[in-house]
Structures are given as structure tokens and as C-alpha cells.
Amino acid sequence: MPSQSYRQRTVPQVVAEAAAEHGDRVAIQDGDTRLSFRDLDAARLQAAAALAALGLRQGERIAIWAPNMVQWIVAALGAQSLGGVLVPLNTRLKGSEAGYILRASGTRWLFTVPEFLGVSYPALIKNETLPDLQGTILLEGVADGCTGWDTFLAGGAVIDPATVAARADAVTPDDTLDILFTSGTTGKPKGVVTSHGQNIRAFETWSQTVGLRSDDNYLIINPFFHSFGYKAGWLAAIIRGAKILPVRSFDLDAVLEQIPRDRVSMIPGPPTIYQSLLAHPQRDKYDLSSLRLAVTGAAPVPVRLVEQMRDVLGFEVVVTAYGLTESCGVVSICRADDSAERISHTSGCAMEGVEMKCVDSEGNTVPTGSEGEIWFRGFNVMQGYLDNPEETAKTITADGWLKTGDVGVMDADGYVRITDRIKDMFIVGGFNCYPAEIENALCSMPGVARAAVIGVPDERMGEVARAYLVPEAGADLDEATVIAWARDNMANYKVPRSVRFLDALPMNAGGKVLKNELRDLSARESA
């Protein structure tokens, strides 16, 4: 896809073009609901009319806090067709975490569900102060104080379709598409602002490189609130004309039953998903012959796993990729014909239109084969952090390079191997965890004076959090009490799986906690 001939587009244009090209072919199959590409186009225009009736203006934000479902996509596309901005919320967030993002983004309308996995989202934010929020709309079901989906859609009848079409036509590729909140070392989530044009180009390139096709049946297990499930998920599927099969929550038996029933050909996700499929004791009872394409990443991928995905599960193509929220979700990608060793040991090379390099602490490019911080530059660099010019300036250089905070080694072919993280971030089952954010939360627990968090190896999740706490004088704390409190106050993947108590945290002369000493302490304990 040569950059000089690339045609910039917007999301409403992409959906309209998919409807024109693919017509009555199924775009989304969600349980008993089936929408053709033409139906999807009509549905997003209906949702756009309903949002216009509520008064959504260009650049205003809607948030979606719900599991993967057809209404999630329709609500997002409806807002984006008016020039509205999507703010996805992690389904594992607690009320205070969601409240912070809703306030920081100035969200006007929240789309959610009454309950998911035993959690009531409307109840979680009942006591949050949300001055900009105009209302809550349910994608399904009923709850006090919320507008039902059908009632919401019916409200759009007062809007002339020509008005919606004109507003969609007025959206430009440079307009903001979404704000995805990513945590940071300061402990407060930061909103990453990206545009229509750069996201569409990124995932046209991604789809073309990994080989996503219009005849693929795409099982989207990755959550829509994450760029993997949203951008590399349903957006990429619409771009390519593939069928979207949303999964609300991962159930291995249900997935094994669905693969032959729906002739699933594409399954992306972290390595744990494929390891679970391989380990299932009754896997041989299921016809997995439709499986064709797997895109993985977010954790180390053993060579043996790549080989088993090809030889045992039958995937024709297995590729890995590397990205971050600040890159619209993708920087580098392996190619379909790469060896199992290259797919396992690297995260690919820079995608078309993107430059990538490894640099030393002064920003100088290091020799091939030497470790350095990964920087990238290109069309996929975020617009910036929402209302945070200081952090934006720290992250993006004057000449456009974005500093990832990840350490890697690049080979002579431009393939990069991620070796470490400058930031303290670790990955729990595919989700980024930032110690500073967890530490800030733990320090608000009664009886905790100081907190430090590191990632420790975990066979199933890759890494999990371990907390080192200094209790306040006279405090009566134990591991179980801390973990229980954490489960009530933070998303599950952030919750420490183990807690250790110290009289004092190891610190340098400047008062900074020496995480390496804590890692050494943890390693000695595991030895």
C-alpha cells in the first residue's frame, strides 16, 4: 500500500463503502442477530440520528462500557458518523476508575448494560460526580434512571436523514475518532487521541499484511474496549468485508463448539487462548479444519506454540505484532511466510509507512543487534494525550518520533525483539498493568503507609502483580485482607496475587523505590 497513492477516509465512508461492495453478505452475527453490511450501514445511520436528537455535537464524547455485542459497534459507528468521539471503558473497571475516565473525557452520554458477569455498571457509578454526563443509555435490558436501546433509537425519528448524511459527509480524516485511556507511570490514566484517517490506514495495512480476507469468519474474543478487539477486530473486519462474530466472555467449550458451527477462520489473541485450545482434553472431538489465520502478541510466544498452532490446530498463517495505544494499536508486524523462530523471537518489522529504530539514552540510534529504547515515527503516531501537553511533549520528539518506553533489539532486516520495558509496566493476560496506578490505589487503603508493586512470573497469565507494603504503625493487615480490598477497588487484572510486608521499602538517596531490589527479593523467594 504505497503511501503516495493512499486515499484517506473516514469511518462513515468505510461503512458506506462496505455496504455498497458487500451488500447482503453478513457483516455481524451475534447470537440470533444477523446484520448484513447494508443493514449495518442503516443501523449506524439510525443510531447517528438518535444521537443527533439527543444533541451530540462534533467532537463531543460518548463512552461505551459493555461486553462485545452488536449494539456496541452500532453505537460507536453512530457517534463516529456525526463526528462524535468514542471513549471505550474496560469492563473490569471499578466505579471510581470509570468515574475518573468519564470526567477526564467530558463524556456526554454513556452506553452500557444493566449487568455483566455479576456487576451492575450503572450502580458502580451511582455516587460518582459526573458533571458533563447527560444520560445513560442501555444497549440491552432495563435499569432505573437509564434509557432503553429501542427508546433511544426511536428518538431519532425527528431527525431528517439528510441532516445525518450531511454531518457524516462533513467528518474529515483528521477529525478525532476516539480517545482510549492508557495508564501511565504517573499513576493516572492518560487519554490517547487518534483520528479517523490514521486508524483506517493502520488497519488497512495491518489487515493486508496479516492476510485478513472478505471470506473470513472472524471470532473476536479480544474485548472491544481494547484496540486489539476494536481496531484490529471489528474495524478491520469492516474494512476487509469479513464476518464479525463477537464473543462476550471467553468460554473454551463454547469457542470449541462455535468454530465448526460458524466455520471460524480467524482467531486473534494472546498466547493463552491458543494454549487453552491445545490443552483441551476433548479438542479432537471438534472439527477445527476451518481455522486459517491467527494473530497473537502481548506476551512471549514460544516456538513450540507457533509450531503446534500450525501443525495441531491447523492454522495456515500465524503471525505476531507489536503496538501500543499511542500507535493506534500497531507498529510492527510479522509476515505470513516468516519462520516459526522469527515469529516466536520477534514482533515483526515496521509496517508500511512507519519507521522504527532503537536508540540510546541520548536518542542516538544504536548498532544492529544492540539493545535500545524503541522509537517509531509515521502516520500512526497519536495526536497527543488529552489535555496533557506536558506528557505529550515528553513522549513525542520535535521531529515526530514517539518514545515507547520499551527496550528492544533490531536485526539487520528490521525485525525487533522486545527485551525489557523502561517503564515499570508488565502485562497480565494481555492487559497492560502500571505499578504506579496500583500503588496509588493501595496507598488509599486504611493501614497502608507505603506501597510498591512489581510483576512476577505466572504460568497462566504471563505476569501478575505482587505488592510490597509498609503498614502504618499499629495497623493489622494480612495478605488476604489486602487482596480482598484490592478486588473491591480495582480491575481484577490489576489486583495483586501476592502481598509481602516490609518494615521499609528499599530506596535510593533521592527517595525513589529500588524496584530491582524488590525483583531480586522476589527471585530469591522463588528460587
pLDDT band at 304 (very low <50, low <70, confident <90, very high): confident
Angle at 437 between CA 110 and CA 379, to 5 degrees: 65
Compute the distance between CA of residue 353 and CA of residue 111 in angstroms, rounded to an integer. 35
Q: Among 458, 449, 420, 461, which Cα is nearest to 513's?
A: 449
pLDDT band at 2 (very low <50, low <70, confident <90, very high): very low
Mean per-residue pLDDT, 282-293 = 96
DSSP state of 26: E
Compute the distance between CA of residue 455 and CA of residue 433 in angstroms, rounded to an integer. 9
Q: Where are the domains of the chain?
A: 7-249, 426-526
Asked if the 426-526 domain carries CATH number 3.90.226.10, the reply is no
Count the helix, strand and coil residues of the chain and give each as a percent rounded to the nearest 5: 35, 25, 40
Examine the pLDDT at 297 and tell me if it is beyond 90.
no
Q: Tell me the backbone φ, ψ of residue 172, rounded to 5 degrees.
A: -115, 160
Mean per-residue pLDDT, 183-206 = 88
CB 434 within 8 A of CB 465: no
pLDDT of residue 41: 98
Q: Which residue has the cell 501443525?
A: 311
Q: How far is CA 217 from the centre of its chain?
A: 21
Q: Tell me the backbone φ, ψ of residue 227, rounded to 5 degrees.
A: -60, -25
Examine the pLDDT at 424 and tell me if it is beyond 80.
no
Q: What is the pLDDT of residues 216-257, one digit of tens each?
A: 999 999 999 999 999 999 999 999 999 999 999 989 999 999
Examine the pLDDT at 510 and tell me if it is beyond 60.
no
Residues 6+ apart with CB under 8 A from 204: 1, 239
Q: Among 504, 526, 522, 525, which Cα is nearest to 513's?
A: 504
pLDDT band at 4 (very low <50, low <70, confident <90, very high): low
Q: From residue 407, how far is each of 331, 393, 399, 417, 510 by CA, in Å?
A: 14, 20, 20, 9, 25
Q: Is 449 helix (H, G, I), strand (E, B) or coil?
A: strand
Please state whether beta strands 190-195 and 384-385 pair in parallel, antiparallel, or not at all (unpaired): antiparallel
Q: Among 179, 230, 168, 211, which Cα is nearest to 17's?
A: 168
CA atoms within 13 A on the CB side of 525: 12
Q: Among 485, 498, 499, which Cα is nearest to 94's?
A: 485
Compute the distance between CA of residue 6 and CA of residue 205 in angstroms, rounded to an integer. 11
Q: What is the pLDDT of residues 151-179, one digit of tens each?
A: 999 999 999 999 999 999 999 999 999 99
pLDDT band at 300 (very low <50, low <70, confident <90, very high): low
Q: Which CATH class is domain 7-249?
A: alpha beta
Q: Is 51 helix (H, G, I), strand (E, B) or coil?
A: helix
Q: Among 135, 162, 161, which Cα is nearest to 149's?
A: 135
pLDDT of residue 269: 85
Q: Which residue has the cell 491445545?
A: 278
Compute the distance between CA of residue 87 and CA of residue 191 in angstroms, rounded to an integer. 9
Mean pLDDT of the chain: 93
pLDDT band at 444 (very low <50, low <70, confident <90, very high): confident
Q: From residue 93, how far is each of 133, 183, 210, 489 by CA, in Å?
A: 18, 12, 31, 9
Nine-digit cell string for 327: 500507535
Task: Report which of residues 297 and 144 the model is more confident about.
Answer: 144
Compute the distance between CA of residue 40 and CA of residue 38 in angstroms, rounded to an integer. 5
Q: Indicate yes or no: pTM above 0.85.
A: yes
Q: What is the pLDDT of residues 368-414, one digit of tens each?
A: 999 899 999 999 999 999 999 999 999 999 999 999 998 889 999 99
Please state whether beta strands 354-359 and 349-350 pair in parallel, antiparallel, or not at all (unpaired): unpaired
